[in-house]
Chain A
Amino acid sequence: MHVEVRGLTKKFGEFPAVNDVHFSIAKGQLIGLLGPSGGGKTSILRMLAGLETPDSGDIVFHGTRVNDLPPQEREIGFVFQNYALFKHMTVQGNIAFGLEVKKWPKNRIKERVAELIELTGLSGFEKRYPHQLSGGQRQRVAFARALAPEPQLLLLDEPFAAIDAKIRQELRAWLREMIDRLGITSIFVTHDQDEAIEVADEIMIINKGNLEQKGSPWDIYKNPETPFVAGFIGESTIVEDVSTLRGFEQAADWPGTKALIRPEYVEIGQANEFRLLSATETGRVRHLHFRGSEWLVEVDVGASRLVTYRSLEKEVLHPGEEIQVLVHRAYLFNDNDSWIMENRLKEDPMPVHI
């Protein structure tokens, strides 16, 4: 279903948990809600579900304002972070609950439950109680139970939080595929950037009750609209005075401006590894951290410390070693503005032949 939210605000006492949030979601999209703890993600989800009443703002499903509808009538499925399965009901009973409540005929309930058990790969576990299942299986029961009554909107609050990395990966792919197949509009909360980037059509970054940015993962990665988003996605370092870096001398024209530089923006290596040697400058390796599939390297350039990755295939660096550093771009921001600046020397290279 098409979801639109306008000026959504919620205060707990004096504390603004959600602050004038606007967004709209097209039918069939999978949206990832991403942001630091306490940002207001759960509060937004609960208001969409009708479990919490907004102080102001409109929630519109399918062009109809639903603020005054109780959760029972919103046609949603909610997957709780702690599963919230009915402990005294079997897997079957849990999945059938919503259908029995909606007074589906017995034979259709049976069909639907069987279908969902098949879909969620729970065959053989129908008669078990929640405490007899593994975490991942409980998770699937929670999905199946939420999906059974054919909701128009699926709300998932950290659906993978309590699951280990490998099963998480599996469930993630499974969720994406299933949602595509059923065409349900879905919103899921996560703390894990990679998870959001991997499965979501669009990501919403929520911080301190504000919607900082909404867009495709690539969009958010490439064009962060606020310093918070720029710093939140990936592992960035902040450089106080970027004009000291080679190729960014122009930044001195904007006093009070800082730069955010992501590891991916920085390239390091011996002089012979660069085509555009003129755009590089000399730095010194400070620390090396092994990251499983690559090195994370800390480099000192002048007074600034930068962080970057280096492939395991390349020549191994050593702390204290002198190397060449090329900064491709920087994300500049001050109190009123933010923009991306490319390395000037890279854009306007002076050819150097060795």
Chain B
Amino acid sequence: MSSTLQSRWWSWGFRSAVMLYFILLIVFPILGIYGYSLSAGLAAFTENITEPLAWKAVLLTVKLAFVSTMINVLIGTMAGWVLIRYRFPGRGLLNSLVDLPFALPTAVAGLMILLLLGPQSVVGQWAEQLGFSILFHQPAIVIAMVFVTFPFVIRAVQPLLEEMDGSEEEAAYTMGATKAKTFVRVILPAMLPGIASGAMLAFSRALAEFGAVVLVAGNIPGKTLIASVYIFGEIESDNITGATAVSVVLLTFSLLILWLVNYLQSRRKGV
């Protein structure tokens, strides 16, 4: 009797501790930002967000994050496929390198891109000759975003591919399906939930990227100034409400995406 009482106490204690931790660390700060942004009234909020530089920054961020996500969907799907389905020397090393962008400080990633694509570098000169520049322009931002969010799609697709033994494909072959048809009708649909959730996480992360982008973007307001850098600038110039207004927009995006990923995953479990 006393032992069940004790274990109930323990379980209650643990649950409360986790809840408290969660509320203190995540829920309060989020509510705080929403509260702060609206504290000066809805009118002030709209004024802050309709500030041309602010909404241009948000729009640019969404656009570039979308482009980088599309690139990651293509490359990530292929990379995941190759890493699971082919055996070649160096495969294990390559597979562990995939996580590098997660482990690396994003400022280091930015520096790498800076050195790699700068005007002195081979790539930089080559682009210059073709008549466009990468560094301090939008392509550099996309490259930085692609680099930082590279692992998401791969890591979401891999377990799904591993789950599929070859027999579904073989079954399709015996029924007359070509390799291409089998890929489109059998393999791709199996990968799709992974691609979708990986893409959304990558998108959400790309929206939020600061460290890598700030070094390579140029940060010209209205042209290459992305939302996170805008927020930083607003805080530097003591306009906290301007910063929170943009933050709230980004935060809302992220929460929506998170909810969507969850929804998709729960649906997949149902299937």
Contact = CB atoms under 8 A, between A and B. Distances in A.
Contacts of B176: 72-73, 98, 101-102, 149
The 7 A-B pairs at the shortest CB distance, nearest first, are namely A98-B175, A84-B167, A78-B174, A84-B171, A71-B173, A88-B189, A101-B177
A72 B190 contact: no
Contact of B171 (A74, A80, A131): A80
Given A71-B170, A84-B168, 13 more contacts: A72-B173, A72-B174, A72-B176, A73-B176, A80-B170, A84-B171, A85-B168, A86-B168, A86-B171, A87-B190, A88-B190, A98-B175, A102-B176
Contacts of B174: 49-51, 71-72, 74, 76-78, 146
Interface in B137-182: 165, 167-168, 170-178, 181
Contacts of B165: 82, 84
Interface string A148-181: 0100000000000000000000000000000000
A101 B171 CA distance: 12
Residue among B176, B178, B190, B271 with most chain A CB within 10 A: B176
A295 interface: no
A333 interface: no
Nearest to A148: B175
A78 B189 contact: no
Interface string B181-224: 10001100110000000000000000000000000000000000
A101 B167 contact: no
6 contacts: A80-B170, A80-B171, A86-B172, A98-B176, A146-B174, A149-B175
Contacts, number: 66
B167 A82 contact: yes
Interface residues of B, number: 18
A125 interface: no
A97 interface: yes
Interface string A30-73: 00000000000000000001110000000000000000001111
A178 B160 CA distance: 36
Contacts of B189: 88
Nearest to A93: B185
Which of B172, B174, B185, B190 has the largest count of A CB atoms less than 10 A from its CB?
B174
Nearest to A71: B173
Contacts of A265: none
Contacts of A310: none
A74 B173 CA distance: 10
A145 interface: yes
Contacts of B171: 78, 80, 84-86, 145
A97 B172 contact: yes
- Residue among A86, A102, A146 facing the most chain B CB atoms (10 A cut-off): A86
A129 interface: yes
Interface of B: 165, 167-168, 170-178, 181, 185-186, 189-190, 271
A85 B177 CA distance: 15
B234 to A, nearest CB: 47
Nearest to B174: A78
Contacts of B173: 50-51, 70-72
Interface in A106-140: 129, 131
A213 to B, nearest CB: 29
Nearest to B168: A84
B271 A101 contact: no
Nearest to B173: A71
Interface centre among A97, A102, A129, A145 (most CB of B within 10 A): A97
B178 A72 contact: yes
A77 B173 CA distance: 10
Nearest to A75: B176
B170 to A, nearest CB: 5
A149 B175 CA distance: 7
Contacts of B186: 86
**Most interface-central of B165, B172, B173, B175 (chain A CB within 10 A):** B175
Nearest to B182: A101
Contacts of A72: 173-174, 176-178
Given A51-B170, A80-B167, A86-B168, A129 B271 contact: yes
Contact of A88 (B170, B172, B178, B271): B271
A101 B190 CA distance: 18
Contacts of A74: 174
Nearest to B171: A84
Nearest to A51: B170
Nearest to A49: B174
Given A82-B167, A87-B190, A145-B175, A131 B181 contact: no
Contact of B170 (A78, A102, A145): A78
A76 B177 CA distance: 12
B172 A131 contact: no
B265 to A, nearest CB: 15
Which residue, of A50, A85, A86, A88, has the highest number of chain B Cβ atoms within 10 A? A88
Nearest to A132: B271
B63 to A, nearest CB: 32
A77 B176 CA distance: 10
Nearest to A82: B167
Contacts of B271: 87-88, 129, 131
B181 A101 contact: yes
B196 to A, nearest CB: 13
Contacts of A71: 170, 173-174
A84 B175 contact: no
B210 to A, nearest CB: 38
Contact of B185 (A50, A73, A87, A97): A97
